[in-house]
């Protein structure tokens, strides 16, 4: 799960529907991105990061590192 993405979205008080509307995708598609049921491509990561005035790696890279560390422990 991109728990960091969900946390950032909630902290910015955006609903899943609002994010989907801003990205031009369906609510279901966005929800699947948050739960990692759909592959996140770089261009979509950039669009999401832009909404929050962040870089994609600030949202998504840490989750990847943390998940990797958890699997090795």
16-48 per-position pLDDT tens digit: 999 999 999 999 999 999 998 999 999 999 999
**Which two structure tokens, joined as six digits, stand for 62?**
């840490």
46-57 per-position pLDDT tens digit: 999 999 999 999
pTM: 0.79
Q: How far separated are the first and last CA of the chain, in Å rounded?
A: 19
Q: Cα separation of 4 and 6, whole Å?
A: 5
From residue 2, how far is each of 35, 47, 52 by CA, in Å? 6, 15, 15
Q: Which domains does the chain have, with CATH numbers?
A: 3-72 (1.10.260.40)
Q: Which residue has the tokens 């529907």?
A: 17
């Amino acid at each position: 799960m991109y728990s960091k993405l969900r946390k950032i979205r909630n902290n910015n008080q955006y609903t899943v529907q609002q994010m989907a509307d801003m990205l031009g995708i369906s609510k279901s598609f966005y929800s699947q991105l948050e739960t990692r049921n759909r592959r996140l491509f770089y261009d979509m990561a950039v669009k999401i990061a832009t909404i929050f005035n962040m870089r994609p790696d600030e949202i998504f890279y840490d989750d990847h590192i943390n998940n990797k560390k958890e699997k090795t422990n």
